[in-house]
Structure 1
Amino acid sequence: MTSLDYAVVGIYFALVTALGLSVSSRVRSPDDYFLGGRGFGKLLQTFAAFGAGTGSGDPVNAARTVYTGGASGMWSVMYWLFMTPFYWITAVWYRRMRHVTLGDWFVERYESPRLGAAYATFGVIYFVVYASMLLSAIGKVAAPLIGATLFEIGGLSIPIEYLLVPAIGAVVLVYGLAGGLHAAYLTDLAQGICIILLSVLLVPFGLMEMVRVFGGPESQSSLLDGFTLMHEQLDPSDFQLFGGADSQFTVAYLTVVVLLNLAGVVIQPHFIATGGGSAKSEYDARVGLVVGNLLKRLCTIGWVLVGLIALSLFGDDPLLIDDPDKTWGIASARLLGPGLTGLMLSCLLAALMSSVDAYMITGSALIVRNLYTTFIDPDASERRCLLVAKITGAAIVLGAVAVSLTTMDVFAQLQLTWVIPVLFAAPFWVGMYWRGATTAGVWATIAFGAIAFFILPALGQEVSLVGLVGVDLSGWTANSQETVQLAETVVAPFVVMIVASLLTPKNSPTTLDRYYTKMRTPVDPDPQTDKAKLEATIAGEQVCDIQKLFPNTPLEFNRPTRTDAVGFVVLCVTCGLVIGLAKLVFSLGS
C-alpha cells in the first residue's frame, strides 16, 4: 500500500468515529443505549440488518470457497437467501416481545432468571467467536494488501494483523461506547454504502485484467470479453450453482445447512435489535430486515465473481493453494491501484465494524440485564447500568481481538458459529409455538447439546445417532458423513426438548396466557398507547387482534394475516429471481 492508501484508511477511521460521537448526546438511559429508544424507521433498520449481517468474513469466505470449488462455493454465504421469507414473520416476533434482550424472553417464557443468565453467557461466547472470525478475515486480507509484515523489531517480524486488528477494535469501542445502538446504526448506514462498493469494485478491474492476460492483441477492451475469456480458462463445472457428489456444497448438504441455520438464526443475540426489536413499528421491522438481507444476497453475486476471476487468473498461485482464505486479499492487491487498495481495505473494515458494533452493544445488554441487575445489583441506577454496559462491551471486543490473534482459520470459525446456536434453538422454536414446552425441558436440551456437540467431540469422541441404530457410514464420502452429522445436529435437540417437556412439570398457565396474548397483540408505534392497549388485552378488556390458528389446543400458531401471506409468497418468488440473476451473470460470455 502507498501513502495515498494509508491516507484513505485514516480518513475512513476519522469519519466513522466522528459520525458515532455526533450522536453521543442522545444516550440518556440504558434503553437509549441498547435499543435507541425503539425509534428507528425503515432506512436505518435496513442498513442495520445489512451491516450486522454482512461482515468482513462474508466476501472472504465466498471468494475462498469459489476459488476451491467453483461457483457452487457461493452457498457458503448465499444459503442465507432461503431464510429471507421467514424473516418477514420473525421480524414481528422481536417487536412484539417488547424486550431488550433475548435473555429477557427466556426469563418470561420459562419463568427462569437462571435461563436468562445461561442465554446471556451463550450470547457473549457467540459474539466473541463470531466477531473473532470477522477479525481473522481482515487479517487474511490485510496481509496481501499491506505485506506479510509491517515492521521488524530486533529481527522479529510482526504480522500486520497484530497492529490492524487491535486498531479496529479501538475505533469500534470509541464510537460504540459513546453513542450506543444509535451510533452503531448511523455508522452502519455509511458502512453499508462501503460494503456495496466493495462488492462491485474488484469485478471490472478483474475482467479487464482477464482481457490483458488472456485476450491477445486483437481483443476488445470490454467487460463482456472478460467474461468470455473467463469461461475459456475454467471448466464448465466451475460455473455450476450446485456441485456434484465430490463438491462440498451438494444439494443435500446445502439443505441441511439451511435448516441448521434457520433453526439457529432466530436466537442469534443481536436479532432482538437488528431483527426488528428496535424498529418504530412492525412494518418497519419487517421491511428493514428483509430488504437489508436481500441487499446482502445481491452483493454475494459480486463476491462470487471475484472468486471466479481469482480462480482464472491465479489458479496455480502457490500462495492461494497454501491458504485460500487469502483469495480476496491477493486479488485486491494485484488488481487495484494506489488509493483504490486503501479504499478496498476501508470497505472491508466497514463490513467488519458494522457487525462488531452491534455485537458489542447487544452483548453488553445481555450482561447488564440478565446477569448484573438480576444477580449482583438489582437496585443499580441507570448511570451504573450504563457504566457496566460500556465496560462489558469493551471486554467483548477485546475478547474477540484476542481469539482472532490466536485463531486464523476463517471457514472453520464460520462453521463453529453454525453449531453454537443449537444449544438454545430448539427451546426457542418449541417455546414459541407449544404451551407444553417446560423449563426442565430447556435445561435437558442445553445439557444434551453441550455434551453431544461440544464436550464429547473435544474429548475425541463423536456421537452418531445414525450409528446407534446400526447404519454404517464408513463407506460414505466425507461430505455425506458431514451432511448426516449436521442433520443430527438439527433434529436431535428438538426430539430431546419435546420428550423432556412431556415428562416434566408444566409452566404456570397464567404466565403462558399473558405471554401468548402479548404475542398476538400488534405493536402500536406510540409506546404509551401500546402499553395501555397491551394491558387492556391481557386483562380481557379488549379482544386480541390476532387469533390462534388451532383454537382449543396447546399449539400457539397465530392465524396468518393477509400481510403475512402476501409478503411470504412475494419473498419466495424474489429468492428465485435472485438465484436466476446469479445464474444469468455467471453464464455471461459462455
Structure 2
Amino acid sequence: MVNTILLHWLDWVVIAAYFAGIVSVGLFVSRRVNKTEHYFLGNRGFSVWLILGQAFGVGTHAEMPVSLAGAVFQSGYSAIWYQWKNLFITPFYWLLGPLFRRMRRTTLGEVYEDRYGKSMGVIYTFFALAFFSFNMGAMLKGAGKLVSVAAGEAVTPNTVVIAMTATFLAYSLVGGLVAAAYTDFVQSFFIIALSFLLIPIGLMRIGGFSSIQSNVQPEMLSLVTPGDIGVFTILMLTINGLVGITAQPHMIAAIGTGKDERSCRIGMTYGNFIKRFCTIGWAVVGLIVMVLLMETGDVLADREDAFGYATRELLFPGAVGLMIACVLAANMSTCSAFTVDSGALFTQNFYRRYLAGNRSDRHYMNVGRLSGVTVTTLGVLFGLYVDIVLEAFLFTETISAFMGISMLGGIAWRRANRYGAFMSLLVSSTLFFWMTFRDYGILLRWQDWNFGLSMLAGFATLIFVSLITKPEPKTVLDAFYERLHSASCFDDSTGKEKLVTKEGHDLLIANLFDLRLNQGWKVFYGRFKVDINGFIVASGVVIGLIFLARGILLLP
C-alpha cells in the first residue's frame, strides 16, 4: 500500500497564498464589469493572448492529467489518445475559430434558434446546461482525487470539491467572463511549467528513459497497440472531438470573444496545441509511475491516483503545494467560465425570452449570476457522485458529439432543417444509450463501435429527414449565412465592430457546398487563402508532435 504522508506546512502556506492571489486577480479585473455584454462576453475585445489563455486554460482541467496518467499507467503509452483524440482535428480549429465570432451571438443556444427555430434553441439550452453540470462534476472530482492522494488522504476528494466551488464562485459572480479570462491566462503559464516539473525529477529517481525502456514491456510503449487503444478507437475519438466541439456550449465565450478573427484562429488552434504538448508530459508521468511502483512495491487503489502519487513522491515541500494550487486554480477558472456561460444560456435563451422580456440590463446580469450558481450546484452534486473521471469525461464529450451533428450540418449544409436536426439527436443518442445499456448494464460508458454506429445513424437521419421535409424559410437562411460570410473585427478607435473586406477570408466550412472548384485553383486559393495557409502550417505541427512523442522515449 502507499504510505500516508501529510502535506508539509510549507505546502499549505503556498496553497493558501496562491488561492488568495488568484481570487485577488479575479476581483481586480472585475471592477468595471457592469453590463451583460461585458459580463457574458467581455465586449468581444479580447487580445490573441487572452484567447490563447482561454483556449488552453478552459480546455485544460485537473481531471486530464489525473485521468491520462492513470490510463497510461494501466494500459500503456497508447492511452495518450484518450486526450490526443483531438490531435488530428486541431488544424481544423484554424477553420472553426472565426465561425464562432461570425455567429455574433451570446450563446450557441441563440445560434440554434437562428438556424432551426425556437424549439431547437430550447432543446440545445437544456443540453448545454446538462453539459456544464456533467463537465464541472468531472473536473471537480478529478481535482479532488489529485489533492487527496497528494495530501496523503488527509482530505477527502469531496471536501476538495466543495472548497474549490466556494472559491471560484467568489470572483466569478463579480467579474463574469472577464475575471475568468484573466485568471485563465495567469494559470496557463503555471500549468505548462508544472506539467513537466515531475518529469526531470522522476527520471532522475528511476534512472532515465533507459529505465522505462528496460522495465516496461515494448507493447506498453507503443503509440498504437491492438489492445485498449487501436486505430479504430483513435478514429472514433477523433470524430467524437471534431463533431462535438462545434456544439460545446462554451465555445462562443472562449473563442468567439477575440477582437478579430486572427485572434480567434491563433487562440483556438495554438492554445490547444499547447495542451497537446502538455499531454506528452502527462503520459510520461504515467510511465514513470509504472517504474516507480516496481521499485517501491507500493500499490495504487485506483489507477487515477497515479498523478497525485507522483506529485507527492517526487516533489519537495512547497513544490507539492504549488502543483496542487496551480492545477486547482486552472480548474477554478474553467469552472468560473462555465458558471458564466451557463448563466448566459439560461438568461438569454429561456428567462429573457419566455419569462421576463422587458427588464433592466442589471436585472438580467443578476439572473445570470443566480442561474450560474444553480448549474454549478448541480455540477457539484455530479462531482460528489462520479467515481471514474475518464468515463465521465468521455460521456460529456459524446453528448456534445450527438448535438454537434446538427450544428456542423447546419453550418455546412443549407438544406438541413429543424426536423432533421431533432431526429438526428433523438436517433443517435437513443441508439447509443440503448447499445451501451445492453452491453454493460450502465449508461456511463464510452465504446468505439457503439459510438461509431450511433454517429453514422445520426448523420444519415439528418440527411434523410431534412430531404423529405420542408426546408427552413429562405429569409431565415439568408440572414444566418450572411453573418457567416461576413468577416469583422473590433475597432479600438470607435469601440464598435467593422467589416473586413480584404480577399481571402471566405470560410471553407461555411462554403463546403459552394467551393466553385470549376473556376480553377487560383480562384479557390484566393477565396480561402487564410484558411488554407493556416491549415497547412497547423498540420505540420501535428506531425511534429507525433514525432516528439515517439522520439522522447528513445532518449537515454
TM-score norm. by structure 1 comes to 0.86
Q: Does 1:259 align with 2:239?
A: yes
Q: Does 1:137 align with 2:135?
A: no
CA distance in 2, matches of 1:199, 1:426: 34
1:195 aligned to which of 188, 191, 194: 191
In the alignment, what sits opposite 2:3?
Answer: none
CA spacing shift, 1:502–1:317, aligned 2, 3 Å: farther
CA distance in 2, matches of 1:544, 1:119: 35
1:555 aligned to which of 494, 500, 513: 513
Letter matched to residue 224 of structure 2: F
Q: Does 1:109 align with 2:115?
A: yes
The question of whether the paired residues in 1 share the 8 Å contact of 2:504 and 2:529 is answered with no
In the alignment, what sits opposite 1:242?
Answer: 224
Aligned length: 537
CA distance in 1, matches of 2:334, 2:495: 33
In the alignment, what sits opposite 1:232?
Answer: 214
Residues 346-495 of structure 1: matches in 2 within 5 Å? Answer: 346-454=325-433, 456=434, 460=438, 482-495=447-460
In the alignment, what sits opposite 1:467?
Answer: none
1:126 aligned to which of 119, 125, 131: 131
| Offset from partner CA, 1:442-466 (integer Å, 9 cap, x none) | 2222222342233x35864899xxx
The question of whether the paired residues in 1 share the 8 Å contact of 2:180 and 2:336 is answered with yes
2:312 aligned to which of 333, 343, 360: 333
In the alignment, what sits opposite 1:581?
Answer: 548
The question of whether the paired residues in 2 share the 8 Å contact of 1:522 and 1:545 is answered with no
CA spacing shift, 1:320–1:195, aligned 2, 3 Å: farther
Residues 12-411 of structure 1: matches in 2 within 5 Å? Answer: 12-110=18-116, 112-150=117-155, 160-211=156-207, 226-243=208-225, 245=226, 247-275=227-255, 277-315=256-294, 320=299, 322-411=301-390
Can you give the 5+ residue segments of structure 1 that lack an aligned partner in the other structure? 151-159, 212-225, 464-478, 535-541
Letter matched to residue 244 of structure 2: G
In the alignment, what sits opposite 1:469?
Answer: none
Tell me the CA shift for residue 580 of structure 1. Answer: 0.7
- Classify the secondary structure of the residue corresponding to 1:506: coil
Letter matched to residue 381 of structure 2: A
Tell me the CA shift for residue 365 of structure 1. Answer: 0.8
| Offset from partner CA, 1:495-517 (integer Å, 9 cap, x none) | 11111111111111111112112
CA distance in 2, matches of 1:310, 1:545: 49
Tell me the CA shift for residue 230 of structure 1. Answer: 2.2
CA distance in 1, matches of 2:448, 2:435: 17
Tell me the CA shift for residue 6 of structure 1. Answer: 0.8
Letter matched to residue 251 of structure 1: V
Letter matched to residue 414 of structure 1: F
CA spacing shift, 1:482–1:273, aligned 2, 3 Å: same
CA distance in 2, matches of 1:131, 1:320: 29
Letter matched to residue 578 of structure 1: L
Tell me the CA shift for residue 547 of structure 1. Answer: 6.5
| Offset from partner CA, 1:526-568 (integer Å, 9 cap, x none) | 397976759xxxxxxx9998669899x9935696521110100
Query: Radius of gyration: which is bigger?
Result: 1
| Offset from partner CA, 1:277-298 (integer Å, 9 cap, x none) | 1000001111111111111111
| Offset from partner CA, 1:201-255 (integer Å, 9 cap, x none) | 11111112113xxxxxxxxxxxxxx122222221222221111x2x211111101
Q: Does 1:500 align with 2:465?
A: yes
CA distance in 2, matches of 1:255, 1:449: 18
CA distance in 1, matches of 2:366, 2:509: 46
CA distance in 2, matches of 1:3, 1:237: 42
| Offset from partner CA, 1:168-204 (integer Å, 9 cap, x none) | 0111111111111111011011111121122111111
CA distance in 2, matches of 1:306, 1:284: 33
CA spacing shift, 1:73–1:370, aligned 2, 3 Å: same
| Offset from partner CA, 1:249-283 (integer Å, 9 cap, x none) | 111110111012211111100111212x1000001
Tell me the CA shift for residue 115 of structure 1. Answer: 1.5
- Classify the secondary structure of the residue corresponding to 1:524: strand
Tell me the CA shift for residue 40 of structure 1. Answer: 0.4
Can you give the 5+ residue segments of structure 2 that lack an aligned partner in the other structure? 1-6, 517-523
CA spacing shift, 1:484–1:510, aligned 2, 3 Å: same
The question of whether the paired residues in 2 share the 8 Å contact of 1:430 and 1:437 is answered with yes
The question of whether the paired residues in 1 share the 8 Å contact of 2:411 and 2:509 is answered with no
The question of whether the paired residues in 2 share the 8 Å contact of 1:263 and 1:422 is answered with yes
- Classify the secondary structure of the residue corresponding to 2:407: helix
In the alignment, what sits opposite 2:519?
Answer: none
Tell me the CA shift for residue 107 of structure 1. Answer: 0.9
CA distance in 2, matches of 1:345, 1:550: 40
The question of whether the paired residues in 2 share the 8 Å contact of 1:61 and 1:410 is answered with yes
The question of whether the paired residues in 1 share the 8 Å contact of 2:51 and 2:268 is answered with yes
The question of whether the paired residues in 1 share the 8 Å contact of 2:429 and 2:454 is answered with no
Tell me the CA shift for residue 370 of structure 1. Answer: 0.5
Tell me the CA shift for residue 519 of structure 1. Answer: 0.9
The question of whether the paired residues in 1 share the 8 Å contact of 2:423 and 2:465 is answered with yes
CA spacing shift, 1:530–1:387, aligned 2, 3 Å: closer
| Offset from partner CA, 1:62-107 (integer Å, 9 cap, x none) | 2011101221111111222112110001001001111110011111
CA RMSD, aligned part only? 2.6
CA spacing shift, 1:40–1:136, aligned 2, 3 Å: same
The question of whether the paired residues in 1 share the 8 Å contact of 2:143 and 2:327 is answered with yes
Letter matched to residue 416 of structure 2: A
The question of whether the paired residues in 2 share the 8 Å contact of 1:192 and 1:350 is answered with no
Tell me the CA shift for residue 320 of structure 1. Answer: 4.9
Tell me the CA shift for residue 405 of structure 1. Answer: 1.0
| Offset from partner CA, 1:24-49 (integer Å, 9 cap, x none) | 22212111011100010111110000
CA distance in 2, matches of 1:11, 1:459: 46
